[in-house]
Structure 1
Amino acid sequence: MMKLLALDMDGTCLNSYSKISPTTMDALYLARTSGIEIVPTTGRALSCIPHQLRKTGLFRYVISSNGAVAVDLKERKTLFRALMPYEAAATIIESCQGPDLKMAAHIRHDYLLQGQLLPFFGHLIYGRDASQAKAVPDLAEFIRSRHADVEELQFFLLTKKARERTRRIVSEFPELSSARTSYYAEIYSSNATKGTALSAVADYLSVSKDEIACIGDGENDITMFQASGLRFAMGNAVPALRSMADVVVSSNNHDGVAEAVRSLLTAFL
């Protein structure tokens, strides 16, 4: 019997408009009332969990910031944490910053953005989900003055020079890892993965790997797949994840999560 469902958010539970469809919401309620513990497992900061899921009673445990933090919301307890030391984070920000780079950070469950431009675009793209984002004038100063260790740094790279500068500077910190595209980089502790955090939650709940199912779409979900006994890849998933999946379902624009939940309930309940 499956006891836990680790569920990615963006590109999986949410469609291309950053919404959760009624069909998917109904499937999640059915899974929860059937006794399955739903664990949102997301790259977002905890404060930016999709608004459609807040106050639903669907979940108690959350893995956020790509596995940097796992929490028990009911007990207000941290189950897992793998953070960047504040001094390293501040140094990277100061060394990388320039007019060709915009930056944000996940700190103490909040989503902090340097300046006013990023919050504006965040609200434009994500609507109510970005309502908890906070603008600060100087991220490095904010981090240093509060001795605030960092869950994740996010850099928006506007030029080739910004990409090269960021790659060179981050390489000087072997205790950190990064994931990047041509225009974007995430920087985090090498110990922060969705899979590690998921295993910590499972241990806390005395749930075995064979009792864990997961649904995902991106490369950051690979370690989550490795920590799960049953793996569903979305139809829009990256090839590496599709190749690892036990089942490939429809895309996030065609209620693939609902399809996975129905399959899960039919097979194991």
Structure 2
Amino acid sequence: MSIFAIDLDGTLLTDDHQVTKMNKQAIQLAESLGNTIVIATGRSVHSAVEHLKMLEIDGYVVALNGAVVMETSNQEILFEKMLHKEGAKAMLEIGEAYNANVSISCLENNYQVDFTGQKQDFVQEFLPGQTPFTIISHQEAQQIIQRDSVLKVAIMNENIEKLEEMKRHLFESGHPVISSDTHYIELMAEGVNKGYGTRIIAEKLEVPKNDIVVFGDQENDLGLFAIAGVSFAMGNANPAIRLIADHVIESNNESGVGKTIMRLLDNRRTVLRGGQE
């Protein structure tokens, strides 16, 4: 049995956020042959689960870049780690300083603080189909950070240069953010990443590292690549991801995930047939 850990945006999903027929069929076939499917994403638990439902399979989700790990068949939370309040406050403060849009993710609820003055739903603009985010005030955000278990805070801005400035300031103040898209920087608790979350699932299922197959395209997939037996970067992936991947495959718009899974399954069938002859 293998684990197939798959990122969503820019990987499984096309640029218009759809799952191709090839991707769906390949994943369903892999699951029917006894493999485990893991959706590993920066999106919320709800959004990750909805995509597994769309694929019509049970599996696992590593959501919010690894801050939450859940088995979908019984909705059991296998892991959850909240972000330190200081980090959440730092993200909120720098978002305000740069007139950016800030999102706050908890297990059940998601919020946006709009410092742009445009009253835009940036999450829906950049990630259509994402769980709805409630737009709140700066004061309400401070209360939520103080009161609730915040798992991830993200800053969204269309100005990439400003985003890089924010990223640098946060690093210098001890808050190492990551990027899941050119318009996003995200902060989770220390040690949280997609790889750590996927390893929890692998240990539960007693799947060795060699049997962990991962697919990704962005900086927030680095942790995933670090724990993989074999890693596949999409043709559209960030150059840094393509550089460290074992293989570079077709793009997200070309059903790269599905085509690769089918090749892997075909290779296994060939090996089995050879062993029986």
- Normalising by structure 1, we get a TM-score of 0.84
Distance 2:182 2:136 in 1: 26
Q: Secondary structure at the match of 1:12?
A: helix
Structure 1 residue 189, shift from structure 2 partner: 2.1
Give 1:112's aligned residue.
111
Q: Secondary structure at the match of 2:31?
A: helix
Give 2:172's aligned residue.
171
Alignment deviations for residues 62-92 of structure 1 (CA, whole Å, 9 cap, x no partner): 0011122211233332222332123541354
- Specify the code of the residue in structure 2 equivalent to 1:8: D
Return closer, same or farther for 1:149/1:171 CA change in 2, 3 Å cut-off.
Answer: farther
Distance 1:28 1:249 in 2: 16
Work out the number of aligned pairs and report it.
263
CA contact (8 A) 1:136 1:142 kept: no
Alignment deviations for residues 134-188 of structure 1 (CA, whole Å, 9 cap, x no partner): 3223353342452x2322211124666776466435633x3x4212587542122
Are residue 239 (structure 1) and residue 245 (structure 2) matched?
Answer: no
- What's the Cα RMSD here? 2.7
Structure 1 residue 235, shift from structure 2 partner: 1.2
Runs (5+) with no aligned partner, structure 1: none
Give 1:37's aligned residue.
36
Structure 1 residue 124, shift from structure 2 partner: 4.5
Tell me which moved more, 253-262 or 239-248.
239-248
- Specify the code of the residue in structure 2 equivalent to 1:136: I
Distance 2:63 2:13 in 1: 16
- Percent identity over the alignment? 27
Runs (5+) with no aligned partner, structure 2: 270-277
- Specify the code of the residue in structure 2 equivalent to 1:35: G
Are residue 248 (structure 1) and residue 248 (structure 2) matched?
Answer: yes
Give 1:152's aligned residue.
152
- Specify the code of the residue in structure 2 equivalent to 1:82: K
Distance 2:168 2:31 in 1: 42
Q: Superposition pairs for residues 36-55 of structure 1, below 5 Å?
A: 36-49=35-48, 51-54=50-53
Give 2:141's aligned residue.
140
CA contact (8 A) 1:218 1:238 kept: yes
Distance 1:43 1:136 in 2: 21
Q: Superposition pairs for residues 40-79 of structure 1, below 5 Å?
A: 40-49=39-48, 51-54=50-53, 56-79=55-78
Alignment deviations for residues 21-69 of structure 1 (CA, whole Å, 9 cap, x no partner): 1121111111111111100001111122384533644233100111222
